[in-house]
Structure 1
């Protein structure tokens, strides 16, 4: 049953990712990656039911994140040093996306955990 929920969420996430990637600019890709990672961080801090987590986290956000990752691929060059230039370009771009993703996932996690802690202290 869980795999069916992940598949349904994946279909929805692929549709969302396709809408985000209609005109993939660098800024749009970076903002989409930041939003997806922030939501993943928020969902990892929540104590939701496993079915909701399967649909939202693994299905929807996992598929949308893979769509963003596919759009990050850089164009190939033709020439003798093409493998080196392609490797350097992909490595730089991947490093930026990793830093943005980890930062926003941490911010999303801390926002939920901090808000829950503050709520308990003020209650």
Structure 2
């Protein structure tokens, strides 16, 4: 049953990713990466049912993250230094998106954990 829920969430996430990334720009890709990773961080800090985690955490967010990864594919160049330029370009893009992803995943996690801790201390 869990795999069916993950598949349904993946279909929803792929649809959302395809709609958002019809005309990818750098700002849109960075924003989509930040939102997906922030929500994934929030999901990891939240104790919800395994069914909700399967649909939203693994299904929707996992497939939306893969849509962002596909949009990162660099165009091919023609020339003698193609492997070097392609590798450097891909490394720069992946490094930037990884930094954004890790930062927003941490912020999402800390927002939930900090909010929960504050709520417990105040009540």
| TM-score calculated relative to the size of structure 2 | 0.99
* CA displacement at 1:51 relative to structure 2: 0.6
Matches within 5 A, 1:1-123: 1-123=1-123
* CA displacement at 1:76 relative to structure 2: 1.0
Q: Distance in 2 between matches of 1:83 and 1:66?
A: 24
Alignment length (residue pairs): 123
Q: Distance in 2 between matches of 1:64 and 1:58?
A: 10
* CA displacement at 1:46 relative to structure 2: 0.2
Deviation digits for residues 10-69 of structure 1 (CA, Å, limit 9, x no counterpart): 000000000110110000000000000000000000000011000001000100110011
The runs of 5 or more residues in structure 2 that have no matched partner are none
Q: Distance in 1 between matches of 2:31 and 2:45?
A: 21
